[in-house]
Amino acid sequence: MKPGMNTGLIMNYSSLFISGAMNWKPGWLQFEEPSAKGNISQLLEKANQMVQSADTKEKILELVNAYEQVLKIDPKNQEALYGAGLYNALIGFGYCDQKEEKAIYFSSAIRRFEQRMYLHSRFADLVDNHEKVWEACRVLSNNELNSLFFYYLALGSLFKESLNAFGKICNLHWGSRFKKILKNMMEIDPTWGGGTPYYAWAVYYATAPRIAGFDLKKSEDYFAKAIEIGPEMLNFRRTRAFLLHTKNKNREAFKKDIEWVLVQSPHKVRHYLTYPWHIFIQRDVQQMLDHIDDYF
């Protein structure tokens, strides 16, 4: 059993593939009872130190476990809930090859992000009265946008990378739900995270089926707006190279974006992007550059 995992999450993954449905027990119904004692401040400081050097799967697993230790003491600790979700998501994005393993980590991230958002009282009231996350998220504040953004990414990745063809057909209705989350993020604060809501829309327009709004011109415009607001964000140029420049067959723009990403310091914190995320992004773009002829 991997750090941060439990039997329920694995069962959720199994039922997802058997039934073809993206269904799970909401995170706010999975808060644990305190099961340990300790100095939370010291444990969080230890986790923050670990972030500075977490550049392998093993180190990131240790980091997730550090946050989970805090949650054994205080199951509703905001920093630990977000940290556990953030780095479980990173393992799913950057350190897993198999669909089953990806689904387990994305499911764990989703659970922690749902729990973190639930600590917002108005959101909690809405979901307690059976409103869905993609609707209830409209009441969240800037303080919860990091959890909402990575919740959206983990959900989208669960759909894209962990479902088989039958599962994707059964879950086409999730497309409108993803768009609702994006619209709500824009309403809360379009400039949050260096313009991340614009970035999320740019990705949407570059990857959506034509029937759902695929539009490379809109994608280009939204990427440009995001980079105007957050010129320091490595993920903006990385994803623009991969999703937009490859589709437009613009080899030089592809190289320019990637080479810019590679020379940036991974140690500088950029909004929600920390050292472990920067290391993953730079490793990813180096592989893209090494295989540039596969794209053009």
Measured CA distances, 271 to 131, 146, 195 (Å)? 30, 9, 10
Helix or strand or coil: residue 163?
coil
On whether both 111 and 225 belong to a single domain, the answer is: no
Distance CA 25, CA 27 (A): 6
Distance CA 198, CA 93 (A): 21
Range of the domain at 63: 1-151
On whether both 28 and 96 belong to a single domain, the answer is: yes
pLDDT over threshold 90, residue 61: yes
* For range 154-172, the mean pLDDT: 67
At residue 195, the pLDDT reads 98
How many structural domains are present in the chain?
2
Distance CA 68, CA 83 (A): 9
Helices (H), 119-250: 121-128, 133-136, 142-157, 165-170, 174-188, 192-207, 216-229, 234-239
Give the rounded percent of residues in the chain with a pLDDT score beyond 70: 88
At residue 21, the pLDDT reads 58
Distance CA 268, CA 52 (A): 10
On whether both 75 and 197 belong to a single domain, the answer is: no
pLDDT over threshold 50, residue 5: no
Angle 104-107-108 from CA coordinates, rounded to 5°: 85
On whether both 143 and 239 belong to a single domain, the answer is: no
Q: Does 164 map to a domain?
A: no
* For range 169-180, the mean pLDDT: 73
- CATH at residue 101: 1.25.40
On whether both 142 and 199 belong to a single domain, the answer is: no
On whether both 35 and 96 belong to a single domain, the answer is: yes
pLDDT in tens, 213-268: 899 999 999 999 999 999 999 999 999 999 999 999 999 999 999 999 999 999 99
Contacts of 200 (CB under 8 A, 6+ apart): 149, 152, 182, 185
pLDDT in tens, 94-138: 999 888 899 899 999 999 999 999 999 999 999 999 999 999 999
Q: Does 98 map to a domain?
A: yes
On whether both 2 and 139 belong to a single domain, the answer is: yes
At residue 6, the pLDDT reads 44
pLDDT over threshold 80, residue 168: no
On whether both 105 and 236 belong to a single domain, the answer is: no
At residue 169, the pLDDT reads 52
pLDDT band at 289 (very low <50, low <70, confident <90, very high): very high
Q: Does 167 map to a domain?
A: no
Q: Does 156 map to a domain?
A: no
On whether both 212 and 260 belong to a single domain, the answer is: yes
Question: Which among 123, 39, 120 has a CA at the least distance from the CA of 76?
Answer: 120
Last residue of a domain, one of 151, 173, 202: 151
Q: Which residues pair with 96 in a beta bridge?
A: none
Q: Does 169 map to a domain?
A: no
The structure tokens listed for 131 are 């409103």
pLDDT over threshold 80, residue 165: no
pTM of the predicted structure, to 2 decimals: 0.91
Measured CA distances, 226 to 155, 195, 232, 256 (Å)? 22, 5, 10, 17
On whether both 97 and 210 belong to a single domain, the answer is: no
Q: Does 179 map to a domain?
A: no
On whether both 12 and 131 belong to a single domain, the answer is: yes
Q: Does 255 map to a domain?
A: yes
pLDDT band at 12 (very low <50, low <70, confident <90, very high): very low
Residue 149: how many other CB atoms lie within 10 Å:
22
* For range 48-52, the mean pLDDT: 98
Q: Does 165 map to a domain?
A: no
- CATH at residue 252: 1.25.40.920
Last residue of a domain, one of 133, 151, 169: 151
At residue 167, the pLDDT reads 55
Instruction: Indicate the length of the chain as a whole number.
Output: 296
At residue 160, the pLDDT reads 76
At residue 176, the pLDDT reads 86
On whether both 205 and 257 belong to a single domain, the answer is: yes
pLDDT in tens, 192-218: 999 999 999 999 999 998 888 899 999
The structure tokens listed for 219 are 């994608």
